[in-house]
Amino acid sequence: MYINENSKVIVQGITGKQGMFHTKIMLNYGTKIVAGVTPGKGGQEVYGVPVFNEVKEAIQETSADTSIIFVPARFVLGAVLESLDAGIMMTCIITENVPVFDMIRLVEKATEKRLHLIGPNCPGMLIPDKIKLGIMPSDMCHYGDVAIISKSGTLSYEITKAIGNSDIGVSAYVGIGGDPVRGTTMQEAVKYYSEDPITKIIVLIGEIGSDEEEKTAEFIKNNVSKPVIAYIVGKSAPEGKRMGHAGAIISGDFGTARGKVQALKAAGALIADSPWDVPPIIKKFL
């Protein structure tokens, strides 16, 4: 399992401005933050959370199994390598502008060690009413049986809030991020939640760029029996122009919203024409 209410979380970069800010919010949500890590700041406390100099030391003292990264981009490589070497099962990288070659190294390392990464440049993960591992709004929804997997950040908040306002429960919100090289891919997340006994319906929020949605569509077609609803961002994006995320760029016929919609339709997914069409489509299956 990626994360659950029993996950013991380390905040790497807890003494920084963003680390402190989001640690307080996650603690208030009920997340079990058992330690923080900032080299040279060991022995301090942040909101009652002990700070250690190294991840291994934090694990020895707390048995932590999950980490969230709030360090500047130039320090992400070292921080995540430390987390992976220590055996942390899930590392969530919130930081944006992480160099591509750093992420290639980290993804290879995580794959080699059979550990999980989410991000970078992502909002994180939420199991409503149980655990918040990220920077998404805390009041989007309550627990239920719809998994939301998104490359987009802010728009996914709108869709998830609309789902929650429609009295539809969410089993998990997973913001995988939109950088070209990332940890968990959309296909991997779909595979996980297609096998999750709690999840009954999967919602995908994709965007232009890459062929990730097309690969996910092929997987859905051959492996997923649960209903899948998709919304694709960027229908009017001009060719060759980066739109928000580093990976959100189209070139010729590659990475277009139309191509992604066609692939997902062919795989049996239902396509929402607007973000606010998602809840009514979900209700057809409830």
Q: What is the CATH number of domain 9-118?
A: 3.40.50.720
Q: Give 65-100 as a DSSP string.
A: -EEEE-S-HHHHHHHHHHHHHTT-SEEEE--SS--H
pLDDT of residue 253: 54
pLDDT of residue 233: 84
Contacts of 16 (CB under 8 A, 6+ apart): 38, 70, 71
* Alpha helix segments (H runs only) across the chain: 17-29, 55-62, 73-85, 100-113, 154-165, 186-194, 212-223, 257-266, 278-283
Q: Are the folds of 9-118 and 139-283 the same?
A: yes
Ordered by start, the domain boundaries in the chain are 9-118, 139-283
pLDDT of residue 124: 96
The fold of the 139-283 domain, in CATH, is Rossmann fold (3.40.50)
- Rounded CA-CA distance 280/60 in Å is 48
- Rounded CA-CA distance 38/24 in Å is 16
The residue among 122, 187, 113 whose CA lies nearest residue 151 is 122
pLDDT of residue 229: 98
Just list the catalytic residues. Answer: 245
- Rounded CA-CA distance 106/117 in Å is 9
- Rounded CA-CA distance 62/41 in Å is 17
SS3 207: strand
Helix%, strand%, coil% for the chain, nearest 5: 35, 25, 40
The residue among 32, 86, 89, 92 whose CA lies nearest residue 59 is 86
Contacts of 60 (CB under 8 A, 6+ apart): none
- The count of other CB atoms within 10 Å of the CB of residue 246 is 18
Region of 209 on the Ramachandran plot (φ > 0 left; ψ -120 to 50 alpha; else beta): left
CA 225 to chain centre: 23
pLDDT of residue 3: 95
SS3 34: strand
Each of the 286 residues of the chain gets a pLDDT tens digit; together they read 689 999 999 999 999 999 999 999 999 999 999 999 999 999 999 999 999 999 999 999 999 999 999 999 999 999 999 999 999 999 999 999 999 999 999 999 999 999 999 999 999 999 999 999 999 999 999 999 999 999 988 899 999 999 999 999 999 999 999 888 999 999 999 999 999 999 999 999 998 777 899 999 999 999 999 999 999 986 544 544 444 444 444 444 556 888 899 999 999 999 999 999 999 999 999 8
SS3 50: strand
- Are the C-beta atoms of residues 256 and 250 closer than 8 Å to each other? yes
- Tell me which DSSP letter residue 121 carries: S
